[in-house]
Amino acid sequence: MKKIWVYAEEVQGEISKVTLELLSKAKELAKAFSHEVEIGAVLLTKGIGEMTETLEAYGAEVVYAGEDDRLEAYCHTTYAPVLARLIKKEDPDIFLFGATQIGSELAPTVAAIVKTGVAAHCVDLRIGDDGLLISEVPAFGGKIIGEILIPKCRPQMASIKPGTFIATESCVKCSVVKKIDLTGLEDADKRLIPLKTCVTKSEAKPIDEAEIVIAGGYGLCCSENWSRLQELAELLGGAAGSTRPCLDEGWADNEQTMIGTSGKSIRPKVYMGFGISGATHHICGMKDSGLVISINKDKNANIFGVSDYYAVSDVNEILPILIDLVRSSKATAAEKGEKECH
C-alpha cells in the first residue's frame, strides 16, 4: 500500500490552513494510483484536542499523533528526530509539508536525517506515469518551472506554499489514530530549547483572506505612496499586498504582505496592482485572483498581460485621485443612508 503523508502543522492549538490544503491535494494525488493509498497526517503537539477531527474532515485516514508536554513549542532538534524515526518505521512514499517558516526548516532537516530529497517551495504537484511525484518549482528567477523528481530515495518530500491548493472537506470520515513512539525524546539535542512562545497579532487584514487586495511594487517609489496604498486598501475594506522590492526598501514592514513564489499565494475577488512590473515570481502568487486591474507607467509592462483592466498612468497621480474618489463616494453613501434613516 502506498502512503501519502502530510505534516499537520499546528498554530495555537489549531490545524493550519495549509495542512488542510495539502490533505485535499493528497486525496487528488491518490487517485493516480490503481491500488490502495493511505492518506496520513502526522501531528506533534502538546495536546491533540479536536485536531484529529479537523484532519479527518479533510481526508486524513490515519492520524499519526505524538502528544507530549515537551512538544509544546516547535523546535527542529526535538521534532525532526521523531519524524525521522516514524518514517523509518512506516516507510511512506510521499511526505508533504507547508512551505511555512516551520515547514521550510523541518522538511529539509528530516530529509537530511533519512537521506532523501525535498522539492522546496513547490507551486504544483502531480503523479507521473511511472508513479513518481513530480514537484513543480519556479527556477531561474521564475522564468521557467522546473520539475523535480526523487526517483530513488523515500519518502519523496516536498514543501508547498500556503494558498497553492484549495482545501475541500472530505465525505469519507473514518480515521484511525496511531500513537507515535516518543521514546528518545528526552535525549533530543538540547542545544536549542524554546523558552517561550510570543504571539504577535498584526492589525492588518491578512492578504490571503481579503476579498480585495491592493498591491504595490517598486514603482510606488517611496514610503509615502505605500501609506497611500494602505489607506486605499483600508477604505475599500481590503488588504495591502507587496512585491519583494517594497519589502527590501522597507516601505512595507510586514513580510506577510509579500505576494509570490516566496510570499503568499492569493485568490481575492479583486486585485489591483500599482507600479508592479509583473515578474513571474510575483504573478505565481496572484494569477488565481478574480478581477485583475493594474496601473503602470510603462505601456509594455508584463502585468498588463494578466490584467482584465489596466491604466498606463503614474501612481503618484492616480493614487491620491482614487483615495479622494473612494472617500467622497463613501461620504455620499453615508449621507444618503443617514437621510433615509430620518
Q: How many C-beta atoms surround the C-beta of residue 139 within 10 A? A: 12
Grid cell for residue 200: 504577535
Amino acid at 233: A
Q: What string marks each residue from 224 to 243 as x (binds ligand FAD by CB under 6 A) or -? A: -------------------x
For position 281 contacting ligand FAD by CB under 6 A, the verdict is: yes
Least distance CB 82 / ligand FAD (angstroms): 31
- Which of 16, 100, 175, 261 touches ligand FAD by CB under 6 A? 261
- Which of 85, 113, 142, 293 touches ligand FAD by CB under 6 A? 142
Nearer to ligand FAD, 253 or 298 (CB): 298
CA distances from 218 to 11, 20, 128, 148, 246 (A): 33, 34, 39, 32, 6
Find the Cα–Cα–Cα–Cα dihedral 155, 158, 164, 169, rounded to 10°: 20
For position 282 contacting ligand FAD by CB under 6 A, the verdict is: yes
Nearer to ligand FAD, 54 or 277 (CB): 277
Nearer to ligand FAD, 256 or 316 (CB): 316
For position 99 contacting ligand FAD by CB under 6 A, the verdict is: no
For position 161 contacting ligand FAD by CB under 6 A, the verdict is: no
Amino acid at 312: V
For position 163 contacting ligand FAD by CB under 6 A, the verdict is: no
Segment contacting ligand FAD by CB under 6 A, of 124-132, 200-208, 227-235, 311-319: 311-319
- Which of 126, 262, 293, 306 touches ligand FAD by CB under 6 A? 262
Contacts of 128 (CB under 8 A, 6+ apart): 134, 149
**204 close to 92: Cβ distance less than 8 angstroms:** no
Nearer to ligand FAD, 45 or 261 (CB): 261
Least distance CB 16 / ligand FAD (angstroms): 19
Assess whether the previous peptide bond of 320 is cis (omega < 30° from 0).
no
Nearer to ligand FAD, 181 or 298 (CB): 298
Site for ligand FAD (CB under 6 A): how many residues? 29
Least distance CB 302 / ligand FAD (angstroms): 8
For position 248 contacting ligand FAD by CB under 6 A, the verdict is: no
Contacts of 308 (CB under 8 A, 6+ apart): 291, 292, 293
For position 316 contacting ligand FAD by CB under 6 A, the verdict is: yes
Sheet of 124-127, strand order: 124-127, 133-139, 144-148
Name the nearest CA neighbour of 102 among 74, 67, 73, 123: 74
- Give the helix/strand (H/E) hosting 106: helix 101-114
C-alpha span between 310 and 307 (Å, rounded):
6
- Residue 200, CB-side half-sphere exposure with 13 Å CA sphere: 4
Nearer to ligand FAD, 60 or 301 (CB): 301
- Which of 182, 221, 323, 326 touches ligand FAD by CB under 6 A? 221
Q: Which residues bind ligand FAD (CB under 6 A)?
A: 141-142, 217-219, 221, 243-245, 258-263, 275-277, 279, 281-282, 285, 296-298, 301, 314-316
